[in-house]
Amino acid sequence: MMMTGRVLSLKLAGRAAVRLCSSSQLKPSSPSSPNSSSRTQAEKQRRRREREEAILSNPHNTAEDRAVIWSQKETIVYTAETPPGKKKDTSLPFPTSYSPEYVESSWYQWWEKEGFFSPEQHGRSSLSTNQTFSLCIPPPNVTGTLHLGHALTVAVEDALVRWRRMQGYRVLWVPGCDHAGIATQTVVERRLLREKGKHRQDFTRQEFLQEVWKWKKEKGDEIYHQLRTLGASLDWSRACFTMDPGFSRAVTEAFVRLCDSGLIYRSEGLVNWSCSLESAISDIEVDSKELSGQTMLSVPGYENKVEFGTMFTFVYPVEGQDGEVVVSTTRPETMLGDVAVAVHPDDPRYQAVHGKQCRHPFTDRLLPIITDPMVDMELGTGAVKVTPAHDHTDFLLSQRHSLSCCHFALFKGVKRFDARQLVVDALVEKKLFRGNKSHAMTLPICSRSGDVIEPLLKKQWFVRCDDMAKKAIQAVEDRQLEIIPHFYTKTWKNWLSNISDWCISRQLWWGHQIPAYRVELPNSTDNPEEQWVWGRSEDEARHRAAAKYGLKAEDITLTQDPDVLDTWFSSGLFPFAMLGWPEQTADLQCFYPNSILETGSDLIFFWVARMVMLGTELTGQLPFKQVLFHSLVRDKHGRKMSKSLGNVIDPLDVIHGVSLERLQEKVKEGNLDPRERLVAMEAQRKDFPKGIPQCGTDALRFALCSHKMQREDISLSTSQVLSCRHFCNKMWQTLRFTLGPLVPTTPVSSVDRWICSRLYSTVLQVEQAFEAYELHTVTSALYSFWVHNLCDVYMECVKPVLVQTDTEHSGRVGHVASTILYHCVSMSLALVSPFMPFITEELWQRLNPFRPGVAVQGSLCLQPYPCSSQLAHWHFPEEERDFLLVQEVIRVARSLRAQCGMTKEKPASKSCNSCKQPFQIYLCTHTGLNTAVYQL
């Protein structure tokens, strides 16, 4: 059944910084993230290969696949002329069957035009409180359209937002998009090369940025259309883009303030360098490729494949004696930048060379032989080359021993992997080469370009993170910030305790240009150390420089840094910049800090931690009080949905339906390599042999929220969404049965008291689960009440008296039953509304004219959410206890009837111990089991 969907165990998706070491003998200086270990990466690669092989080889005949049987449903279209923003006419005849296309028409435009999603509508609710509830949507990147992972975020957040709004809170949910600097620039560059045959360098910076803005408008509009189709009740009047003028001012202000406080500084440090993109990139844009040994790989910029997974060994002669030190490396070309050789102080093999020097064969430079316990003497030769300008661990080692970095001009202009072979040939010629062998290794790959990442020593802007990280840890320990699920608090502390300073420079054109300026002083004849100032504008920076150097402003020449800021820097400001910071706006005063941040668990480091650090530093307050993490959406084969795998699913394809042919066309339109394309298309053929049926927004949202998203990754199948579509039809048919003459009443019969009590218990369960953010418990309770209690039991029991009103007793009982039914259905619609906003609005508007007393105007989304305290007088625990037997009897009867049919042979009668009303016993001729059906 839909409430027990297949799920996979949770796997942390955050990636620590990838280190490409030239030697394998160094021990890490500090604990690293679990995901950065070679074993973890190797296991992930192994599982990925196994899944690909399973896709390509396994037949399409699993039990679940066979269960996905669907036929094209009749499409009923809403044809009444309804101008955009006008209320839908629900007085039209009630269609005989549920159709998503009919139900979801027109409502959103009306909600939006009426301002139901704005906090300014707060006073229109009949249950207004003084409490606020605010959050921002994790801004999607304008690199493309949304997939099911984004749909999960929308479904969860909108359920919480609609629930709080119906509770009378003043609610603000802000939409937005992220400019995604490196990702967006990459896709636009590819597009220009494909369509115009031009590279970025063929344009001026301004011309290229105009092309990116065209892309942003196209994709941004498409993303916002998807969000509206998903029913997201966002306040569109406050939509925020990270490159908007107001947001850009906030980014500049943040940079200047952090520079003034000494938290941003310029220094030479190692960065992840993409040669293909000609830019530093963030850790999240680095993938790890596990190699079991010697492997030939395609690398951008090279015609022939390049060899990796090989360990090269050579020697350094010891100066002044006949000895030599043997070192091994997977990157022999980096030996040109070696500054030392390191050994373990207790290694007996090298006791005689402590303090000695080696002669570099190409530069004649003397390299000291240093000792350090970081060196693992159990691995390899026990000696390692130290190349601080090209290796993260070596850089730390050089700092501990005060070794300066060097840059060598030999082979200047030669591409790195061509230089590799030239270095090896030169070592052979000098008789210093000792051979090579296959070697397992982890290769860092740029996720944007597929290029091999190189650690590069470069002057950049960095953020000091240590003190801010300690405050973020303390906030969680002091319970000022709650992380849900709580097991992420350990991950939070471990990562922040070992945080490094954050490089925020990017060598791009698309993004926020760094508001720092290089100063050129008049009459400067030499080449002094570079001098920098910063400011909110060039004019402010000029006056800062004049004050700093005691000169007139007009005598100073400034050149703005051409680099842009890391996208995560600007997105880290989102919770308060979206509200108008640094101005003290009314929104900032009312809705900051945000009530909650809800996002995917894979963003705990790269976005969430940085928001907490920057928000606390710049505003003096935590940006939100709670962080709720949901798991990742995976395909049926357990793979994370990714554009690079071609397995992403557009939520609109699930909502409207799509053919297999169209799905395959989308894969072909992507930039996948041949094998990935083959795997992606074969997976589609197996998963969606007839395409994806039309399921509707409500069914998709309900299916997504029905998973235990706080602990287990979500493997969403078509059958689950179809089950929710069937649930929509069950709701539709229930209302068609319910509509009729109604009168006020109170429950009189046992079954009336039972269904009212079950409604009370359901509302109580929903309240508790909502407060704990256990949405799967909410959806399960609502489904169970509607299907198993209301439809399977109550409606079956009262159906005879609702249709037989020929006697005074039958008529009176029928009126009571219809009113109880109305009460249960109307309240259930309100309960389900946060998850299924379209069908509940449609049905509630049709039910509303029959409401006893004066009809309530407006929308269901502003009606009070059912509260258990208002229903406590309808709690009858004894009826609920007695009817457990009835429910089990009906469940068994339905199951047996489906298997073999039922007969009325050998009837007998029994009575309920409490109410003394009779059961009639039926005999199943197939199994011989007795079952009972409750009789009024």
Quick: pLDDT tens for 18-54.
222 333 343 333 333 333 334 455 566 666 676 666 6
- Whether the ω angle into residue 28 lies within 30 degrees of 0, i.e. cis, is no
Asked if residue 519 lies in contact with residue 533, where contact means CB atoms within 8 angstroms, the answer is yes
Q: What percent of the chain has pLDDT over 90?
A: 58
- What is the rounded average pLDDT for all residues in the chain? 84
Question: Which one has a higher pLDDT value, 285 or 233?
Answer: 233
Are residues 458 and 603 in contact, defined by beta-carbon separation less than 8 angstroms? Answer: no
What local confidence, expressed as pLDDT, does residue 796 receive?
A: 79
Asked whether 636 and 720 are in contact (CB, 8 A), the reply is: no
Give the mean pLDDT of 213-226. 93
pLDDT higher than 70, residue 935? no
Q: Which of 436, 429, 432 is nearest to 307 (CA)?
A: 436
Model confidence pTM above 0.95: no
**Are 95 and 131 within 8 A, CB to CB?**
no
Q: What is the pLDDT of residue 126?
A: 65
How many other CB atoms are there within 10 angstroms of residue 552's CB atom? 10
Mean predicted confidence (pLDDT) in 222-227: 96
Of residues 410 and 62, which shows the higher confidence score? Answer: 410
- Residue 389 burial (C-beta neighbours within 10 Å; 0-12, 13-18, 19+): buried
Q: pLDDT at residue 368 above 70?
A: yes
> Rounded CA gap, 323 and 327, in Å?
13
Residue range 89-116: average pLDDT? 94
Range from 118-132, 145-159, 258-272, 824-838 carrying the lowest mean pLDDT: 118-132
Is residue 120 within 8 A of residue 580, CB to CB? The reply is: no
Q: What is the residue whose two structure tokens read 């207790």?
A: 346
Contacts of residues 868-877 at CB distance under 8 Å and 24 or more positions apart, as own/partner, are: 868/760, 868/763, 868/764, 868/767, 871/756, 871/759, 871/760, 871/763, 872/760, 874/747, 874/753, 874/756, 874/757, 874/759, 874/760, 875/757, 875/760, 875/761, 876/753, 876/754, 876/756, 876/757, 877/757
> What is the rounded average pLDDT of the residues 899-909?
45
- The predicted structure's pLDDT at residue 809: 45
User: Average pLDDT for residues 904-912, to the nearest whole number?
Assistant: 45
Q: Is the pLDDT of residue 778 over 70?
A: yes
Asked if the model's pLDDT at residue 820 lies above 60, the reply is yes
pLDDT tens string 550-598: 999 998 999 999 999 999 999 999 999 999 999 999 999 999 999 999 9
Terminal Cα-to-Cα distance of the chain (whole angstroms): 30
What is d(CA 622, CA 478) in angstroms, rounded to the nearest whole number? 12
| Region 300-327 average pLDDT | 92
CA distance 742 to 819: 5
Asked if residue 211 has pLDDT above 80, the reply is yes
Question: How confident is residue 449, by pLDDT bands cut at 50, 70 and 90?
Answer: confident
Q: Which residues have C-beta within 8 Å of that of residue 231, sequence separation ≥ 6?
A: 104, 108, 158, 697, 698, 701, 837, 838
Cα of 845 vs its chain's centroid, Å: 35
Distance CA 523, CA 137 (A): 53
Choice among 8-22, 155-169, 472-486, 801-815 with the minimum mean pLDDT? 8-22
pLDDT band at 70 (very low <50, low <70, confident <90, very high): low
Q: What's the confidence (pLDDT) of residue 203?
A: 95
Per-residue pLDDT at 926 exceeds 50: no
Q: What is the pLDDT of residue 8?
A: 22
Percent of the chain with pLDDT over 70: 82
Alpha-carbon gap, residue 184 to 561, rounded angstroms = 21
Looking at residue 85, its pLDDT comes to 92
Sorting pLDDT into bands at 50, 70 and 90, what band is 459? very high
Kindly tell me if the per-residue pLDDT of 742 is higher than 80: no
CA distance 109 to 117: 11
Predicted confidence band of residue 248 (pLDDT cuts 50, 70, 90):
very high
Q: What is the pLDDT of residues 600-647, one digit of tens each?
A: 988 898 899 999 999 999 999 999 999 999 988 888 778 878 777 788
**Local structure of residue 906 (DSSP, 8 states):** E
**Phi/psi at 490 (5° precision):** -70, -45
Confidence category of residue 881, pLDDT binned at 50, 70, 90: confident
pLDDT at site 918: 52
Residue 271 β-bridge partners: 456
Q: How confident is the model at residue 746 (pLDDT cuts 50, 70, 90)?
A: low
User: Running DSSP on this structure, what letter comes out for residue 248?
Assistant: H
